[in-house]
Every structure is written in structure tokens, then in C-alpha cells.
């Protein structure tokens, strides 16, 4: 398998595929037609040299994925609002965007980050403090905190998988992975070949988030503070560092078939069995459309296979 460099994510009734600075969002509209938007996205820090630095680039990529993810999600959702709000003029206005919409999107991303840190970093720390009255070992308390953090994360993923909209999004997520696997295994990008491809992929965002949970356990074992305020601040301040380390692990996993790396990737691939579902053929068609707008897979396969 060769790495193509394509990445993506599922949106509402569609898929975004990104290759370099270009991305395409393909959405299956209520009338069953496929609408596609192709644009460029340069992201945070694109004009600085920091974005290419190991460990630092992971933080930039994480923020970029949140911003682009929210932007493409809002675009896809605009096709499924009330009929009077999706008239041609209103639709064009929504696609073009506005300063207020950009401000709202930035605020939503910021709130999402704050909530994620609060739920997955701060809450487990306070939950683990309950056991300090019974356990004197700081190492054990740190491990308990990590276990609680991991349990909260897994419970969250499991709980949202029962929501109807999320289940369909997970099906599109599966179509995204199947398309990328199809291309990276040198197969022509057809519905039949995509259907036979795996829906798990080592470079998935699900694996990244799981790496964040696991890396945080190791990091906070070595960051021991008796002062509660310092302990709280460490859970917030070190999030970028944890994201940076996790990104490098994910990046290495996507580029290597080493036995050790494959073993490290296993938990993330297992979790993807929950965050991806087998897609329908019309979902695969949407994914193929998005890929072909940003990636010449035929030329790439001739050069690599």
C-alpha cells in the first residue's frame, strides 16, 4: 500500500476530500443529485515556517481540521434546511459566506475546543481526585485518571453511534475510508472496487483522538503536582503538546507497515469499527465524486503500481 496524501471527513449526507491545499465537498441533496464545491484551504500558519515543524505541525493540523470540518459541515447542512431558507438566492448567499458566519464558525470551533478540554481532560482529573482518599500512590491516581479519560471518550463515541444522523455520517465515513484504501491499493476507483475495500484506515481522525487519550496517560504520569490549580493548568496547557505527539505517531503509522507500528495502530482500527459503517452504493458514488475533483487517481496509479 502506498500513501496517496488524500484525507477527508464525512459531512451531512456527503464527504469532504482534501489533497494538499485543495478540497472538494460532495453532497447528496434531497433531490438525489450530487452537488460539489471545490476550493482551496491554506489553514492556520500557512505563511509561516512553523507549520512544517515536527510536533508543532500537529497542533496546526488539528486546528485546521476543526475549522475546515465546521466550514464544510455548515455548507452541507445548508441543503437540508427549510425550503424557504434554501431558495436559490439564499443558497448562493450561504455558499458565499459572510463576516458574521465566519465569526460564528470561529466561535463554534473555540467553544468546541473548550468543551472537549473540559470533558476529556479536566473532568477525569477531578473524578480521579475522589480516589485520593483511598489511594496514596500518585502513579496509581494518574493511571486511574487516564482510564477514566479513556472510558469517557469511548462512552461518548458509543453513545452518539445510536443517533440516526450520526449513523448515516458514520456510513459516509466508511465510504471515505474505502475510497482512500481503494486508491492506495492500486485499484481503479469504481463502486465495485470501493465496496470491497476496507473501511478502516490508519490515518483516521478517530485513531488520532484515541492516540491523544493514550498519550495523555503517559504525559500526565510524569507531570505530578500536589497543587490542584497547577494540576488543572497542566491539563489545559499541555493539550497542544499531546496533540503534537499524537499527530506524529499517526503520521508515522500512515507511512509505515512496520510490525510494531501496526500493533500500535490496532486499537484505533478497532475503534473505527464503531465510527465507520458499511456505506450504500450511492454514498460510495458521492465519495468517488469528491476524490476525483481533487486527485488524479488514474495518473497516480500508473506512476506507483
Residue 107 has a pLDDT of 82
Share of the chain above pLDDT 70, in %: 92
When pLDDT is cut at 50, 70 and 90, the band that residue 99 belongs to is: low
Residue 97 has a pLDDT of 52
Residue 84 has a pLDDT of 45
Residue 83 has a pLDDT of 45
pLDDT surpassing 70 at residue 258: yes
- For the purposes of burial, counting CB atoms within 10 Å of the CB of 7, is it exposed (0-12), middle (13-18) or buried (19 or more)? buried
pLDDT surpassing 70 at residue 96: no
Residue 69 has a pLDDT of 92
Region of 10 on the Ramachandran plot (φ > 0 left; ψ -120 to 50 alpha; else beta):
beta
pLDDT surpassing 70 at residue 179: yes
- Mean pLDDT over 132-145 rounds to 93
> Among the listed ranges 95-99, 281-285, 287-291, which one has the minimum average pLDDT value?
95-99
d(CA 82, CA 91): 11
How does pLDDT run across 111-123, given as a tens digit for each residue? 888 999 999 999 9
Torsion sign across C-alpha atoms 180, 185, 190, 191? negative
d(CA 30, CA 125): 45
Query: Which residues does residue 124 pair with via DSSP β-bridges, in sequence order?
Result: none
Residue 50 has a pLDDT of 74
Choose among 132, 115, 124: nearest CA to 149: 124
Share of the chain above pLDDT 90, in %: 74
When pLDDT is cut at 50, 70 and 90, the band that residue 46 belongs to is: confident
- Mean pLDDT over 4-30 rounds to 96
Residue 232 has a pLDDT of 94
Q: How many CB atoms within 10 Å of residue 262?
A: 13
Residue 300 has a pLDDT of 93
Residue 193 has a pLDDT of 98
How does pLDDT run across 200-254, given as a tens digit for each residue? 999 999 999 999 999 999 999 988 898 999 999 999 999 999 999 999 999 999 8
- For the purposes of burial, counting CB atoms within 10 Å of the CB of 75, is it exposed (0-12), middle (13-18) or buried (19 or more)? buried
- Mean pLDDT over 28-32 rounds to 95
- Average pLDDT for the chain: 90
Kindly list the distances between the CA atom of residue 50 and the CA atoms of 53, 208, 285, in Å, as whole numbers in the listed order: 5, 21, 37
Residue 86 has a pLDDT of 46
Amino acid at each position: 500500500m502506498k500513501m496517496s496524501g488524500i484525507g477527508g471527513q464525512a459531512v451531512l449526507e456527503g464527504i469532504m476530500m482534501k489533497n494538499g491545499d485543495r478540497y472538494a465537498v460532495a453532497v447528496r441533496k434531497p433531490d438525489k443529485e450530487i452537488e460539489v464545491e471545490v476550493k482551496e484551504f491554506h489553514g492556520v500558519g500557512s505563511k509561516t515556517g512553523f507549520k512544517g515543524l515536527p510536533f508543532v505541525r500537529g497542533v496546526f493540523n488539528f486546528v485546521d481540521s476543526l475549522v475546515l470540518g465546521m466550514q464544510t459541515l455548515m455548507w452541507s447542512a445548508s441543503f437540508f434546511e427549510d425550503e424557504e431558507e434554501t431558495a436559490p438566492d439564499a443558497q448562493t448567499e450561504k455558499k458565499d459566506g459572510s463576516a458574521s458566519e465566519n465569526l460564528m464558525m470561529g466561535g463554534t470551533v473555540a467553544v468546541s475546543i473548550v468543551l472537549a478540554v473540559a470533558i476529556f481532560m479536566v473532568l477525569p482529573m477531578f473524578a480521579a481526585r475522589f480516589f485520593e482518599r483511598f489511594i496514596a500512590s500518585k502513579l496509581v491516581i494518574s493511571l486511574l485518571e487516564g482510564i477514566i479519560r479513556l472510558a469517557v471518550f469511548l462512552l461518548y463515541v458509543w453513545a452518539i453511534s445510536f443517533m440516526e444522523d450520526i449513523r448515516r455520517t458514520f456510513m459516509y465515513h466508511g465510504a471515505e475510508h474505502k475510497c482512500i484504501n481503494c486508491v492506495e491499493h492500486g485499484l481503479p476507483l469504481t463502486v465495485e472496487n470501493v465496496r470491497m475495500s476496507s473501511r478502516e484506515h490508519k490515518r483516521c481522525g478517530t485513531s488520532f483522538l484515541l492516540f491523544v487519550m493514550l498519550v495523555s496517560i503517559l504525559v500526565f504520569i510524569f507531570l505530578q503536582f500536589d497543587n490542584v490549580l497547577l494540576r488543572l493548568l497542566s491539563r489545559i496547557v499541555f493539550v497542544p503538546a499531546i496533540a503534537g505527539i499524537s499527530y506524529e505517531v499517526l503520521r508515522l503509522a500512515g507511512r509505515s507497515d512496520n510490525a510494531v507500528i501496526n500493533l500500535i495502530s490496532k486499537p484505533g482500527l478497532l475503534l473505527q469499527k464503531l465510527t465507520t459503517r458499511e456505506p450504500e452504493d450511492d454514498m460510495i458514488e458521492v465519495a468517488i465524486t469528491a476524490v476525483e475533483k481533487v486527485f488524479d487517481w488514474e495518473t497516480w496509479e500508473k506512476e506507483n503500481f
